[in-house]
Amino acid sequence: MNAVDLIVEDDAWSSLEGKTRLVEEAITAVCRELPGREPGVVAVLLADDDAIAAMNAQFRGKTAPTNVLSFPSGEHADNHLGDIALAHGVVAREAQARDIALGDHVSHLVIHGFLHLQGYDHQADDEAVVMEAIERRALAHLGVTDPYENEDPGPAPAAK
């Protein structure tokens, strides 16, 4: 079982009902697709675009906000798996542009971020295929439509 520490730094996230349950269910769904995975603690930060832009600049050398960032942790006695951070403005704009519910998009990004904490990546096409397949199966457990269904193959959500 995983423990989730949800940290809400931006009041704009108040529009998302049931945030804690949504994040916990997303992580539970993706864990069903990762047999043999060790449980642990995950911190999920719901921030604004400025905070994520600052982290993106500091850790990735990119000057703009992104939808999700993942920060895997090393080996710790308390089994902290890492941190996931989401930018409200970017996530809300993407959901609106794709005509999907904000909660569904958050579920997808949390799953995506969690996979990065587990060592998955999407830099190479073969890695992206594996990662996206796990995302699709986990989202299906939640009743969320396949986010890649109508897209050309290409980069997955920005994260890492």
Under the banding of pLDDT at 50, 70 and 90, the label for residue 77 is low
Residue 59 lies in a domain: yes
Question: What domain range includes position 81?
Answer: 3-141
Query: What's the whole-number average pLDDT of the chain?
Result: 90
Q: What is the pLDDT of residue 60?
A: 94
Is the full-model pTM beyond 0.75? Answer: yes
Domains identified in the chain, total number: 1
Q: What is the pLDDT of residue 148?
A: 87
Phi, psi of 47 (to 5 degrees): -120, -175
List, for residues 10-27, the tens digit of each pLDDT value.
999 999 999 999 999 999
Residue 46 lies in a domain: yes
Residue 14 lies in a domain: yes
Residue 149 lies in a domain: no
Q: In CATH, what number is assigned to the domain containing residue 94?
A: 3.40.390.30
Residue 83 lies in a domain: yes
For the chain, the first-to-last Cα distance in angstroms comes to 23
∠ Cα 60 62 67 (to 5°) = 85
Residue 150 lies in a domain: no
- Angstrom distance (rounded) from CA 159 to CA 55: 12
